[in-house]
Chain A
Amino acid sequence: MPSSSLTTPAPWRLLLMPRLQALRNGFRHRAQGGRFRPLVFAVVLALFWVGIFWLFHRVLDYFHTVPELGPVLSQKLLHLVFLTFFAVLLFSNVITGLSTFFLSRDLLLLIPAPVSPAQLFTAKFVETLLDSSWMVLLFSGPVFLAYGIVHESGPLYYLLAFVTLVLFLGIPAALGVIATMTLAYLLPAQRGKDMLVVFSALFLSLLYMLLRLLQPEKLVNPEAFSDLLSFLSAMRAPSSPFLPSAWAAEILLPFLQLKPEGSAGFHLLMLLSTTLFLFVVGSSLATRLYPLGWSKAQEGQRRRTLRQWWETGVAAAATVFPVHLRTMVLKDLKTFFRDTGQWSQLFMLLALVIVYVYNFSVLPVGGVGGSFYLQNVIAFFNLALAGFVLTSIAVRFVYPALSLEGKTFWVLKSAPVPLRRWWWSKFWTGVLPLLFFGELLVTVTNYFLRVSPFMATLSAVTLFFVTFGIVALGLAVGVGYPNFTAEHSAKIASSFGGVLYMVLCISFIGAVTVLEAWPVYVLFLSRLHGTPLSPAMWGGIITSLSCAFVLTVGMFWGATRWGLHRLEALEISL
């Protein structure tokens, strides 16, 4: 007889247990395997956490000192924070929901099991919520802490911030899951790929809409308003009273003494009732739509006329290359453009880049009031940011190169092909688009900034060499930390190696930028004041620029050498 103390948990909790146990086992395994990785992870997370706190504390502290405008900007910033979370979470939940509800391998075990659709929905909803929102939950901590400290709020504020955030996270999760289930039900079978295209397009439109709603350029250009009163009035207007992000912000504002007349209770009830309502709708849809939607999603895509026009064109153009290179590049291009999980990330990056360029186009530094000095300082920031954008692209498309070969890497490893050919095929297919894209980005934004021709040329040349380092480093770290078992490419980018690559790359770009910034600063000052430079200064300038060049070339050479060595030594025991 089983003991009465051994009670079986509710089915939805039982369904979540394998995931939680796997997580626990993963931690134990890592703890046994060495402390290096968790330590690096913890340090990186702590640095980011502290960095976010520092930034927000500084900004809010500054706002706090500005009478009238300061509190308005603090309010607006809180709205902006929640709105950004909402947009990011909505997209993230759609993608995660698609994975947990339709693609996850455990569904083959769970669907035939005697579990009600409502219980399955609850378990999968919680899984989606945790998967898509843990990062927001973690990194929003320093933001709310900074608000609380600057505005000297009591413990009730912190408690309410946590409750608000948890309720708020439920809304994009429910909306994302409902959208995924509905589309899977409505769209014809074998159109899983189209689903993601629709989602991506929706996200892009949403982002644009939110951008226009916020009118961020008004924050940096108050002269656009006829007087201070109209500026303040525009700032005080809520972004949209129907958005859950606005409700969440309105709950906290009275406790920050930013809007004493606000009704936190009303907005808290709005948030709570909407979260519960959407959950009930989702659960009801799960009973009606999910079984058929899931069945449709299982049907594979059959395509008789696979060869598309671009494939024929590329295949014809590639005949000039050696057979090994041609074979590998064609395979990579085909698998990339046929894998929705990979190419759909381009939409997200495109949106980020549009916002990036848009921000530079509305910055008032190039206008009448913009100074020569400010333009060129921002040009350096632009160079570093462009490098960061390239890194964030490379971490998704270059760094996972080996991991994406996955369990098929045996094909290449056992074939009579030197692995350095694989390396160079990946290198050139990574470096050429990134070079084109990076140069375009930095040239267009420098045009908006109206920087001097010298600065524009320096940015373009630096980015050219830095790109070689970024790609080589991405491949090398990817070879050093391969993940052959990831279910999709986004997971590879967010793994330990991905984080390590981002940290190394940002340090590399930061070092090159700093090494170039000082000589340029000295040259500009000399030009501005009309004073000639001493031979010692010239020596310093040449040394600093040489160091930047050596660092760039060294990164490319060192990463390539290390990566090739690791690649040759790599063992496959899958």
Chain B
Amino acid sequence: MIHLEHVTKRFGGFTAVDDLNLHIAEGEIFGFLGPNGAGKTTTIRMMMGLLKPTAGRICLGGHDLAIAPLAAKAISTFVPDRPFVYEKLTGREFLHFVGGLYQVPDKLLQTRAQEGLDFFHLVEWGDELIETYSHGMKQRLVVASALLPDPQILVVDEPMVGMDPIGTRMFKALLRSLTLKGKTVFMSTHSLEVAEELCDRIGIILGGRLIALGTLDELQRQAGTEERLEEIFLRLTAAPDMLEAIETLQAATARKFRV
């Protein structure tokens, strides 16, 4: 469903994404992990047409983003890491605006907008200006807007940031239900627990290059450990001195509590 072939992105002399290859099947939840500045958001922004790759090809649902961008965008929606939305619209108006962009028929749009507000507990706020929403509410609204066109592909960048535990729980349940309907989810996250819990496969990117790819079992084999994803992630991405510093701190804390 999602194919990235030899995708590279350079900003001047800096290579943010380097020869990235990914193939994600229909109905899969794919977790895209990496430390800060590894190239996750750049990859996602290229997938959504916000940035143009310097080299390589991106296909969404069989549509090459460079050749048929509108067809590719019509079947995919995006939840960015920061919920920048039109502050002077109400939540309901924003949903109608997004529905209009995706040409959702009027009656269906009304129903889905209401369902979205209901599901994300935003009904009471639906007719308030978005500028009065909290960060988490805006995040929920953006997720509701991304689901409104009933996309084949959902691309989410750090979806849980700023969400309260209820919002997070709702979002996780939602992702599971989407895969049951055959939808494909591409998710970047720093929450390793969420990735471990939800993702069918995980890719780890470091310095713009994909350094690990597979199921949790496959990653454990690759890292030579049977520990949880957090340990695998640290082993693969953290510098040795950083690991040493973490271990020193952990040891000091353990000693203090023993005393």
A residues bordering B, Cβ < 8 Å?
300-304, 306, 323-324, 326-328, 330-331, 334-335, 338-339, 406-408, 410-418, 569, 571-574
Contacts and interface: CB of A to CB of B under 8 A. Distances in A.
Interface string B38-81: 00001001001111100000000000000000110110011010
B127 interface: yes
Contacts of A574: 82, 84
Given A324-B101, A416-B70, A573-B51, A302 B128 contact: yes
- Count class of interface residues, chain B: 20 to 34
A290 B80 CA distance: 37
B129 A300 contact: yes
B119 interface: no
Given A572-B51, A573-B45, A408 B128 contact: no
18 contacts: A300-B129, A301-B132, A302-B128, A327-B100, A331-B86, A408-B86, A411-B85, A411-B101, A413-B48, A415-B73, A415-B102, A416-B102, A417-B101, A569-B52, A571-B52, A572-B45, A572-B50, A573-B50
A302 B133 CA distance: 10
Interface stretch (B87-95, B193-201, B211-219, B233-241): B87-95
A411 B100 CA distance: 12
Contacts of A572: 45, 50-51
Contact of B88 (A330, A335, A416): A335
B231 interface: no
Contacts of B45: 572-573
A522 B96 CA distance: 59
Given A306-B127, A306-B129, A572-B50, A415 B88 contact: no
Contacts of B103: 323-324, 416
Nearest to A301: B129
A222 B49 CA distance: 67
Q: Closest 7 A-B residue pairs measured CB to CB?
A: A327-B100, A407-B84, A300-B132, A416-B74, A415-B101, A416-B73, A338-B88
Contacts of B129: 300-303, 306, 338
A289 B77 CA distance: 48
Interface of B: 42, 45, 48-52, 70-71, 73-74, 77-78, 80, 82, 84-86, 88-90, 93, 96-98, 100-103, 127-129, 131-132
A104 B235 CA distance: 43
Contacts of A306: 90, 93, 127, 129
Contacts of A417: 70, 101
A571 B12 CA distance: 14
B51 A323 contact: no
A409 to B, nearest CB: 8
Given A306-B129, A338-B129, A413 B49 contact: yes
A481 B164 CA distance: 38
Contacts of A339: 88
A327 B97 contact: yes
A530 B238 CA distance: 91
B102 A331 contact: no
Given A303-B128, A416-B101, 9 more contacts: A301-B132, A323-B100, A331-B89, A410-B78, A411-B98, A411-B101, A414-B78, A416-B102, A571-B52
Contact of A335 (B50, B86, B98): B86
Nearest to A307: B127
Contacts of B90: 306
